Chains A and B, each alone.
Chain A
Amino acid sequence: MPVAGEKSWNDLSGPERRAIRFAKWLEPEGVTFRDAEAKAAYKQRVSRLIDAVELEKAPDRVPVLTKMGFYPAHRAGLTPYDAMNDTDRALEAWSRATIELQPDGLISPLHNTMPAKAFELLDYRLYDWPGHNLPKDAGYQYNEDEYMTPEEYDHLIEDPSDFLWRVYLPRVVGAYEGFSILSPAYDMVELPFSTAHIGPWGAPHQKDGFERLAAAGREVGTWAEKVFPMIAQMQGAGFPDYWGYATKAPFDFIGDSLRGTRGVIVDMFKKPEKVIEACERLAPLMVRWALAHTTVDSAPGIFIPLHKGADGFMSDEQFRTFYWPSLKKVLLGLIDHGFVPWLFAEGGYNSRLEAIAELPKGTTVWMFDRTDMVEAKRVIGGTACIQGNVPLSMMHMSTPDEVTAYCRELIRTAGHGGGFILDVGANMESPKEENVVAMIQAAKQYGAYS
């Protein structure tokens, strides 16, 4: 990690680290600006976002971001299947979306153009994707199941990575099946012990897995060689990236991907102490996960999709017992590293606002979907930046005038005094283009502060 002035990174406080990340965000490494105008536009947009996040002063105007899934493909006449099977055309579509719609941040292709072929090669079973058990015009979707048994909490808690490598991955990804016969990596620290670990790598069926992994790796490599330059190019055109990486709430990590909704809920009643212990164990690893993929030059936001803590998914008492304590540790850990946790509270979060108000001021962004924005502004407006929440139904079916009126009202109420980013409530897939334009225009036309 770099040195800031006299102090090394390790000696800096969270706010000092964030200040460095923000400064680097304003002057991004490895970005060539198209021209002076693009550079000025970039800086203005980043400053606008920083002001909205920090809550120290209102930005020049309400920033506007555009949460979307496969919409850039849709508007270019491509299906989600095309987006995941034809990188060149997909990236062209994503570039055009940013350039033509002109939001305050780039529309990232990272989470919708991943090469389907890699997942086919790997026999990746956690998701279905367009053309693979789903129609070509549908987005990828998760296959919920109990991929971890209730008896395996102890292995997960004692040694999470070992559990993931040797137990979990062989179950959920075909190419990793051979890893189930490997011994723990501890064997390798002593030559006389190492044979126990080395031997299973030579089992005949490992070869097929290795070959598939290597082929999938090449697919992703080819994609990455195109996608990252495209992102830099969009920054160079004046549109900042804002998420450096992503992580998850520990309870969701377990409930979404390991035990499944039913599994984790039954565990809440039958082995509550194990669920809590596992969440606590995973909390620092969720921070480390984001750190592993970022440098001080990365965009400061860390995207966190929230699932099982929403209104209705559990009571307040259950939220306070199972969900929030470890998530709060993740957030405070990320904040201490100078990141800005950028949470997507899909569904409603009306009953959780009091918890959010416990966080340090000006350190997080909360993207709301069905949450009451006026109430959110009242309860957490002094704590966090709020983002949202034009309903997707409106983007699909209303008129531009209706969208404009809705946005003006949001700006007046949720946007009052700053700390607000205008956006839709959840990912757009096939909205009316004129409604997207109306939303973006509303921020520019009616969002000026002072």
Chain B
Amino acid sequence: MAHDLVEALVHMKEKEALSIVEVSLEGGGDPNDILASCSEAMQIVGERFQEGSYFLPELIMSGEMLKKIAAILKPHMATQVASEAKLGRVVLGTVRGDIHDIGKDIVGFVLDVNGFEVTDLGINVPEQKFVDAVRDLSPGVLALSGFLTIAFDTMKSTIAALEEAGLRNGLRVIIGGGQIDETVRAFTGADAYGADAMAAVAYTKEMAGAK
């Protein structure tokens, strides 16, 4: 079962994957094994995305299949699964004035499959909400996303607000999005920028001291 499920998920075969899950549960299979297969499959999808053989469609389709499997598993999960040890926590969001979410979601997905605990604050996130999240969750890395040029200014003001709140020290801020480059990084006062999701993961791993 385990191998078949991983195969089905990696090849984006939703019907097959769901039927494997259902058959397994009917036969008294352990939901935790199913979850482990899902996690293994997502690892492979993430790797293929990082090496450039999978693209946005495979990431989104994987997310959709996982949602459905989670819904099937829910009634079968008597006890909460112990969550695996994570590499670190990342707070993520699209800055104020910008409601684009695709790039942010890709980064969230890839960070997640790479072992980070990701808290996604959503889109058009006001400065104060980032400040509150950083204060409450103490993430190692804050990832700010923005597609529009208005994000240049609100990334800068978000980072300034963190400084004002005394939360900037020890926090690594990475920015990314359509028009983001080194020039924008310097302007906003971020520690790094990611040209793509893979760069964001590489940076976050480096900061977490992981390989």
A residues lining the B interface (CB < 8 Å): 128, 134-135, 137-139, 141-144, 261-262, 265-266, 268-270, 312-315, 318, 346-347, 369-370, 391-394, 396-398, 425-431
Contacts and interface: CB of A to CB of B under 8 A. Distances in A.
A138 B14 contact: no
Interface string B168-205: 00000000001111011011000000001000000000
A322 B102 CA distance: 19
Given A135-B97, A393-B179, A429 B55 contact: no
- Per DSSP, are chain B's interface residues mostly helix, strand or loop, or mixed? loop
Contact of B149 (A128, A143, A266, A429): A429
28 contacts: A128-B99, A135-B97, A137-B150, A141-B99, A141-B100, A143-B99, A261-B56, A261-B102, A262-B60, A262-B64, A266-B64, A268-B61, A312-B55, A312-B196, A313-B56, A314-B57, A315-B55, A347-B178, A369-B178, A391-B179, A391-B183, A392-B179, A393-B152, A393-B181, A397-B186, A429-B148, A430-B149, A430-B150
Contacts of B53: 315
Contacts of A394: 183
B89 interface: no
Given A135-B96, A142-B99, 14 more contacts: A134-B99, A261-B102, A269-B14, A312-B56, A312-B196, A313-B56, A314-B55, A391-B183, A392-B149, A393-B187, A397-B183, A397-B186, A426-B179, A428-B149
B101 to A, nearest CB: 8
Contacts of B181: 391, 393
B161 interface: no
Nearest to A392: B179
A318 B55 contact: yes
Interface string B85-109: 0000000000011111110000000
Nearest to B196: A312
B113 interface: no
A265 B187 contact: no
Contact of A137 (B14, B97, B179): B97
A138 B97 contact: yes
Contact of B61 (A269, A312, A315, A428): A269
B44 interface: no
B150 A138 contact: yes
Nearest to A311: B55
A251 to B, nearest CB: 12
A397 B187 contact: yes
B12 interface: yes
Contacts of B101: 144
Contacts of A138: 97-98, 148, 150
A318 B153 CA distance: 36
Contacts of A391: 179, 181, 183
A128 B97 CA distance: 11
Nearest to B60: A265
A15 B69 CA distance: 56
A396 B149 contact: yes
4 nearest interchain CB pairs?
Answer: A393-B183, A138-B97, A265-B60, A392-B179
Contact of A139 (B60, B150, B153): B150
B112 to A, nearest CB: 17
